[in-house]
């Protein structure tokens, strides 16, 4: 996978010459950005986006989710414009579950919108609840402190995967979690990716987290922003926590840190 398409894979997500201005073109947050993610059936892609605060990382996810349209340029999914029929779910740093609904009801929301029967909703949602480690909590209300922060993010991940198992968008989803819960959530996400094979687009400020999870890391420069660096993470697809002590892993972390510091100084 690369910013430009040079393989036989079909495109799953593409940004073409995208720009974003909030003052009528006097200044730009994002300018003439190209970005392409190719579809790898039965494997998926795990793309991590890094960059300085304010460079537009979250805006890129909002484009793909259909929550925001760029000032100019095109945002495509399977070579079609983003619209009501092809939007995907997104997991935010802030807890986004509906607190007046149970875990089961939150996870089943997308199925409800599609008109599935109650029996179908319960069966499929419970299967996903088991996958994300929430079995036994399905009748609890999805709110803090009834559920922990990590459990609430598991609800959001399950709900998003049932909305569209093909693409999962995540905007600093573990940023508010304590370190132990964050590590557990990283392992859960790596396991779900291996099992379900979605294309994941993941924004984080944590370089070690980026290297641990990603196939490919893309770095955005400060505004007016675009993607300026692509680093392929040459590690086994099956990620285990012990890997973080491997010299190859620590070398990759240092490489990404050096590139981030170099770009910050430009």
Contact 102, 142 (CB under 8 A): yes
Considering the entire predicted model, what is its pTM?
Answer: 0.91
Q: What is the reported pLDDT for 82?
A: 86
Stretches where the chain sits below pLDDT 50 are 1-6
CA dist 45 and 169 (Å) reads: 12
Among residues 48, 11, 21, the alpha carbon closest in space to that of 220 is found at 48
Cβ atoms within 10 Å, residue 90 = 23
CA atoms within 13 A on the CB side of 256: 29
CA dist 134 and 192 (Å) reads: 14
Burial class from Cβ neighbours inside 10 Å (0-12, 13-18, 19+) for residue 167 reads buried
Residues 166-187 pLDDT 10s: 999 999 999 989 999 999 999 9
Q: What is the reported pLDDT for 237?
A: 84
Residues 13-69 pLDDT 10s: 999 999 999 999 999 999 999 999 998 888 889 999 999 999 999 999 999 999 999
Partners of 203 in beta bridges: 49, 171
The domain segmentation of the chain, as residue ranges, is 1-88+167-180+187-266, 90-163
Q: What is the reported pLDDT for 7?
A: 55
CATH among 3.40.50.300, 3.40.50.1110, 3.10.20.30, 3.40.50.1000 for 1-88+167-180+187-266: 3.40.50.300
Q: What is the reported pLDDT for 1?
A: 37
| Farthest-apart Cα atoms in the chain, separation | 57
């Amino acid at each position: 996978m690369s910013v430009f398409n040079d393989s036989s894979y079909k495109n799953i997500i593409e940004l073409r010459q995208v720009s974003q201005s909030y003052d009528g073109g006097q200044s730009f947050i994002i300018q003439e950005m190209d970005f392409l993610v190719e579809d790898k059936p039965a494997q998926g892609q795990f793309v991590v986006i890094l960059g300085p605060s304010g460079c537009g990382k979250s805006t890129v996810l909002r484009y793909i989710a259909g929550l925001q349209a760029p000032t100019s340029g095109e945002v495509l999914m399977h070579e079609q414009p983003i619209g009501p029929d092809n939007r995907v779910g997104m997991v935010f740093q802030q807890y986004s579950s509906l607190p007046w609904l149970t875990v089961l009801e939150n996870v089943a929301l997308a199925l409800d919108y599609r008109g599935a029967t109650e029996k179908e909703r319960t069966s499929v949602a419970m299967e996903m609840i088991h996958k994300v480690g929430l079995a036994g909590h399905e009748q609890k209300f999805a709110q803090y402190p009834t559920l922990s922060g990590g459990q609430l993010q598991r609800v959001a991940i399950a709900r998003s995967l049932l909305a569209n198992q093909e693409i999962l968008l995540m905007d600093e989803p573990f940023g508010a979690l304590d370190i132990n819960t964050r590590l557990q959530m990283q392992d859960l996400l790596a396991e779900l990716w291996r099992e379900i094979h979605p294309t994941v687009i993941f924004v984080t400020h944590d370089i070690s987290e980026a290297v641990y999870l990603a196939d490919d890391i893309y770095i955005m420069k400060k505004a007016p922003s675009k993607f300026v660096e692509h680093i392929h993470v040459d590690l086994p697809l099956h990620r285990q926590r012990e890997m973080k002590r491997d010299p190859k892993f620590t070398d990759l972390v240092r490489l990404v840190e050096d590139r981030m510091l170099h770009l910050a100084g430009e």
